[in-house]
Structure 1
Amino acid sequence: MRIISFNANGLRSAATKGFFDWLPAQQADFVCVQETKAQEHQLRVPEMLPAGYTAYFRDATTKKGYSGVGIYTRREPDEVRTALGWDEFDEEGRYLEARFGNLSVVSLYFPSGSSGDVRQQFKFRCIDWITPIFDQWLKSGRDYVICGDWNIVHTRKDIRNWTSNQKNSGCLPEERAWLDTLFLERGWVDSYRHLKPEGEDYTWWSQRGAARAKDVGWRIDYQVVTPSLRERLKSCAIHPTPRFSDHAPYVVDYL
């Protein structure tokens, strides 16, 4: 089983840069996209509906052309869920779950706080609110793969400029401590870190300066899985080229 997670920073923009030309050769079973930045009718066009896949989307209703998530799947899901029960989060188009038997594949776009204190406080509220939901998922007995842009680095190995970013959203001690609780206490598994304990690869680069050329990046895109899937993690790869977005597709193979 192969799953791709990719923040497109505008799926129509990524399409013009060749994302859907690149995708067929990847032979993925599921493709989770974030930041579609479009309404569903703008995405259900031939050039963005690759052969062999069924597409599902959850748009932002609060602001057109904002946020939005999607899942492309080769298998017909048993059920698709588009809301977690808090309108302030759901209506920004941040969660989509497709269920296949005991497997849940989730496309998640966690808020950024980089625009200022108001959004950072919203991000903290989201952390407090979603943690019990993650706990419920763990207790459910289902196999979960949570794909997406979490907008948080976890460790020093996940960001090039560790020291200078300690006061910046996405690298705040409180945010990283939350990932500690998920990965080290609750049992969620960071697929990349499990497969590459010493890896120092990144999935996002600022568009300022020459950050990408110098590989001054952050690893903020994850596939986080339930402990039941730990031993099924086979391999992973981040694809910084070709360049479709300020993020790179993150690909995981499962046994």
Structure 2
Amino acid sequence: MLRVASLNINGIRAGQRRGFGPWLAGRGCDVVGLQEVRCPVAALPADAFGDYHLTYDAGALKGRNGVAVLTRERPEAVRTWSGSALLRQPGALTTELTPAPVGVLARGLHEFAAQGRYLEVDLAGVPVTLASVYVPKGGLPAHLQRPGRMREAPDGGARYERKMRFLAAFERQVRRARRAARARGREYVLVGDLNIAHTRFDVVNWRRNQRSEGFLPSEREWLDGLIGPRRLVDVVRRLHPEVDGPYSWWSWLGESFTNDAGWRIDYQLATPGLARRAVAAGTDRDPAADRRISDHAPVVVDYAL
């Protein structure tokens, strides 16, 4: 059995204070993909990752982004868009910088290459390549922006256009990564925070949210193109078809968590051969609002390998 988890930790130092360590020690995961680690390498908590090997791309944006993969064994290979990654052995205080070239980047990705948004590893002992991704949050297109009715200042659609540029380039890169994994005799699974709810089952009040960032028709259409029976399979949705949720993100504000008024924006997307081997999938929803590790919940899948 291969147990894979994905979690937007929303800052590893804050997550550690909120209970990430006990969750990691007790959940029995073989692999954990993390997003928004948001920590300089020198400030990584020494005891945050337990008995796991840490592979990390912090990115160049101070206090933002950062993706990591935790594995029981040292990965056989590592690839990032920046061309390097940081490796740390369990219990070690020093961190090793290793070359991690991903090859030729897809057109349009160079803008995002140094931001700490994508990291992939070839797992040791099983024929699987796993990638952790953090997609930009985005914003509203210009024609939907209404001053005074937005939490953020209107930007003329700049954040929305940036996200759409990322998505267009990322789809090309995922296609390359999936085919390259197959050429190495490996399945491919993409885990992480896509910042998009795909269908009406993935967000509360879906009719009202069709004009909200993260559930815009253009974003959902992009995800339609990424997912398919011969491309990548939404593993959680395959095992939980046409039911509300299980949600993976709830706002810190108000009673969203208590009322389960959430969004499913965190995914495990696997090649068909691996997806067929998924036997259990869901989110580890925290027991109470005041005991939350993050504003996201871990998405956990068991694969019968």
Taking the TM superposition and a 5 Å limit, the aligned residue runs for 1:78-227 are: 78-83=76-81, 85=105, 86-100=109-123, 102-114=127-139, 117-140=157-180, 141=182, 142-184=186-228, 187-200=231-244, 201-227=246-272
Q: CA deviation at 1:185?
A: 6.8
Deviates more, 1:110-119 or 1:89-98: 110-119
1:70 aligns with 2:71: no
Output the TM-score relative to the length of structure 1: 0.94
How far apart, CA to CA, are the structure 1 residues paired with 2:216 and 2:240?
Answer: 23
Q: CA deviation at 1:238?
A: 0.6
Q: CA deviation at 1:37?
A: 1.0
Taking the TM superposition and a 5 Å limit, the aligned residue runs for 1:7-26 are: 7-26=8-27
How far apart, CA to CA, are the structure 2 residues paired with 1:237 and 1:151?
Answer: 18
Name 2:48's counterpart in structure 1.
Answer: 48
Question: 1:21-66 deviations in whole A, cap 9, x for unaligned?
Answer: 12111111101110011112211x3221312x100111120x2110
How far apart, CA to CA, are the structure 2 residues paired with 1:253 and 1:179?
Answer: 23
Letter in 1 for 2:252: Q
SS of 2:159's equivalent? helix
Letter in 1 for 2:302: D
How far apart, CA to CA, are the structure 2 residues paired with 1:22 and 1:31?
Answer: 12
Letter in 1 for 2:161: Q
How far apart, CA to CA, are the structure 1 residues paired with 2:188 and 2:222?
Answer: 19
Letter in 1 for 2:273: S
How far apart, CA to CA, are the structure 2 residues paired with 1:107 and 1:131?
Answer: 14
Q: CA deviation at 1:73?
A: 0.4
Q: CA deviation at 1:100?
A: 2.6
Contact 2:33 2:132 survives alignment (8 Å): yes
Letter in 2 for 1:70: A
Q: CA deviation at 1:181?
A: 1.6
Q: Which runs of 4+ in 1 moved over 4 A?
A: none
Q: CA deviation at 1:169?
A: 1.1
Name 2:298's counterpart in structure 1.
Answer: 249
Q: CA deviation at 1:161?
A: 1.5
Q: Which has the larger radius of gyration?
A: 2
Unpaired stretches in structure 2, ≥5 consecutive residues: 82-101, 140-151
Aligned length: 252
Letter in 1 for 2:135: F
Tell me the C-alpha RMSD between the 2 structures.
1.6
Letter in 2 for 1:197: P
Letter in 2 for 1:109: Y
Deviates more, 1:77-86 or 1:236-245: 77-86
How far apart, CA to CA, are the structure 1 residues paired with 2:230 and 2:214?
Answer: 21
How far apart, CA to CA, are the structure 2 residues paired with 1:190 and 1:170?
Answer: 17
Decide which structure has greater helix share. 1
Contact 2:9 2:296 survives alignment (8 Å): yes
How far apart, CA to CA, are the structure 2 residues paired with 1:126 and 1:26?
Answer: 33
Q: CA deviation at 1:186?
A: 5.3
SS of 1:144's equivalent? strand
Question: 1:139-180 deviations in whole A, cap 9, x for unaligned?
Answer: 331311111000001100000021111111100001101111
How far apart, CA to CA, are the structure 2 residues paired with 1:100 and 1:209?
Answer: 40
SS of 1:166's equivalent? helix
How far apart, CA to CA, are the structure 2 residues paired with 1:191 and 1:18?
Answer: 27
Identity %: 39
